[in-house]
Amino acid sequence: QVQLVESGGGSVQAGGSLRLSCQASGRISVISTMGWHRQVPGKQRVLVSTITNSGSTNYADSVKDRFSISRDNAKNTVYLQMNALKPEDTGVYYCNARGLVGLRWVDIWGQGTQVTVSS
């Protein structure tokens, strides 16, 4: 069984910071891209940021210069440092990883962690 376990969500006031973590475990031999997505009720899940196993990063325009993604390949862990948080950053943040399980590449999702930013 392969799973992603997220942590670090919570409630903060606008302007505050949070750091999300997500660790992959199980029978996954290689992990390529890892990332974070956000979903609010009634809307589709949207990309926040991704990072490849070589360290190339990508950010949604709305979070550039405020969020920073990083990863520790030895620990199969990805992090999202969120600074200068805004109320519109509120949502459930889902970790995602593309990994090799056996002979198949699969997309794996975490259970989600709630981030609430109050004005």
Residue among 92, 116, 113 nearest 44 (CA): 92
Q: CA–CA separation, 112 vs 61, rounded Å?
A: 22
Digits of tens for pLDDT over the chain (119 positions)?
A: 889 999 999 999 999 999 999 999 999 889 999 999 999 999 999 999 999 999 999 999 999 999 999 999 999 999 999 999 999 999 999 999 999 999 999 999 999 999 999 99
Residues 77, 82, 86: CA angle, nearest 5 degrees: 150
Under a CB-based contact definition with an 8 Å cutoff, are residues 57 and 65 in contact?
A: no
Whole-angstrom Cα distance, residue 4 to residue 53? 16
Q: Which two tokens stand for residue 116?
A: 């609430």
